[in-house]
Structure 1
Amino acid sequence: MRILLTNDDGIYSNGIRAAVKALSELGEVYVVAPLFQRSASGRAMTLHRPIRAKRIELPGAKAAYGIDGTPTDCVIFAIARFGDFDLAVSGINLGENLSTEITVSGTASAAIEAATHGIPSIAISLEVEWKKTLGEGEGIDFSVSAYFLKKIARAILENGLPEGVDMLNVNVPSDATEETEITITRLARKRYCPTVEERIDPRGHPYYWIVGKRTTEFEPGTDAYALKVERKVSVTPINIDMTAEVDFRMVMEILNLISSGPEG
């Protein structure tokens, strides 16, 4: 089995090293990840400058490259360089990736990119304190999240994903043990309420931070409720076809594309 591994925390993250160790027992692991932290990069792709790759020694990996680009760049590079894969994994991410806002996440977006190439994919994230999400995971115990990654990855390699499912978005509580329950969820509607905070620099010029308050109330059955309230491992099946499940005639009527009367 050939497994592609990437992330958005960077190739030097301890989370990706824990993932290599877990996945190398299932097949050949090829790592292509950003050289630097690229959180919240979404599905950004580098088109207006060349990207550069650096060969990295990563124990347990068949090959490893650091890319000075985005997580999406990494997936594209890996497929061009190494060919097809049986499974793609993005993570283990420092910090949870929940709700419809996974489209902002570089972690989830890398898995989405792989899924567009027909590769079954997993995005996996570990809940950690916010202050620790921008480092390399020093002092973070990834052993339990690596255990669940290996368990889920093995199941996909053996059984595939159900029809209509392109990837799984997995979130592991910070206090999880190997006995923690796995629950299948749907995406919460919203995790943050972002706004812009204005500040003034020493020369009197304004500058701005995008900040946001976290939602604290979640609907049962969602990924956020499972992680934050029930303290369970959340597994959300994702279909990358974002077409709404609606009768197209209803949309045509709203857009006045269907006659409402004999003279229409």
Structure 2
Amino acid sequence: MRILVTNDDGIFAEGIYDLAKALQDIGEVIVAAPNSERSATGHAITIHHPLRVDKVRFFDTTIEAYSISGTPADCVKLAVEALLKDRRPDIVISGINNGPNLGTDVIYSGTVSAAVEAAIMDIDSIAISMGSTNITQYTDAANFVCRIAKEIIHNNDIKDTIININYPTCPKEEVKGVKVTTLGVRKYENTFIERKDPRGNSYYWTSGNVVDMEQNQDSDILALQNGYISITPIHFDLTHFKTFEKIKKLNFQK
């Protein structure tokens, strides 16, 4: 199995290191990740300036690794279509993210978007995130991903799907189990803090607090809150099928 590993926290983040090391037990690992943090970049790609690629020493390992001056989606596209064009990966795994990617936040997530890009390219993919930023270790989550990856790669019934995992940050013995979930609803009270530059021009810092909302019983947010590993199958087709036939019946000739 050839495994392409990426993330949005940057190539020298602790989470990608532990993930790549663990995955060596199940296949050939290649890392292609941003040269610095690219959190919340969504599915952005770089088209207005060139992408720079440096082959780097990946911590204390011999893993083949590339540092790329682009977004997570860039990293997957460039790796598959150029760097590994004669060695197409069997699966792309993105993470381990420093913090959760739950509910509607997956739209903003660089971690999830890297996995989405792989699915668009018809490659199996997994996004893995920790359930909070209070992280003491990534090893348990990395080992869990190894088990899931082996299941996914050998299952022809799971295609065109991104497996989005959120792993609790509690001790392993306190994890309640695994739940297959739906995307919950994640909203924020956004605050824009105005500042002035030396010339008197305004600029803004954005921040926000999560709004506590009622969740579906099957949601990823509720599963994680209750101590479960959340596994959500997601897809890049954004068609709203419930409204599809209703829209077709509208009179567009007026």
Q: Normalising to structure 2: TM-score of the pair?
A: 0.89
Percent of paired sites with the same residue: 41
Query: Structure 1 residues 149-158 or 93-102, which shifts more?
Result: 149-158
Aligned in 2, Cα 1:256/1:190: closer, same or farther, shift over 3 Å? farther
Name the residue aligned to 1:13: 13
Matched, 1:223 2:220: yes
Per-residue deviation, residues 89-141 of structure 1 (Å, max 9, x unmatched): 00001011111221111100000011100011000001333xx7xxxxxx741
Tell me the distance in 2 between the aligned counterparts of 1:206 and 1:245.
43
Equivalent residues of 1:29, 1:61 under 8 A apart: no
Residue pairs, 1:237-248, within 5 angstroms? 237-246=233-242, 248=244
Structure 1 residues 77 and 178, CA gap change in structure 2 (3 angstroms): farther
Q: Which residue of 2 aligns with 1:82?
A: 84
- 3-state SS of paired residue (1:210): strand
2:172 is paired with a residue whose SS is coil
Residue in 2 aligned with 1:94? 98
- Identify the match of residue 210 of structure 1 among 187, 206, 209: 206
Moved over 6 A (4+): none
State whether structure 2 residue 185 is matched by structure 1 residue 189: yes
Q: 1:3-152 to 2 correspondence within 5 Å? A: 3-58=3-58, 59-60=60-61, 62-80=63-81, 81-83=83-85, 84-129=88-133, 140-152=136-148
Q: 1:197 to 1:111 in 2, by over 3 A?
A: same
The residue identity in structure 2 corresponding to 1:52 is: R
Q: How many residues align?
A: 248
Contact 2:116 2:236 (C-alpha < 8 Å) held by counterparts: yes
Displacement of 1:201 after TM fit?
A: 4.7
C-alpha distance in 2 between matches for 1:27 and 1:241: 30
SS at match of 2:242: coil
Give secondary structure in 2 for the equivalent of 1:159: coil
Contact 2:94 2:128 in 1 (8 A): yes
Question: Do the aligned partners of residues 204 and 90 (structure 1) sit closer, same or farther apart at CA in structure 2, a change above 3 Å counting?
Answer: same
Q: Which runs of 5+ in 1 are unaligned?
A: 133-138, 259-263
Q: CA deviation at 1:46?
A: 0.8
Report the TM-score, using the length of structure 1 for normalisation.
0.86
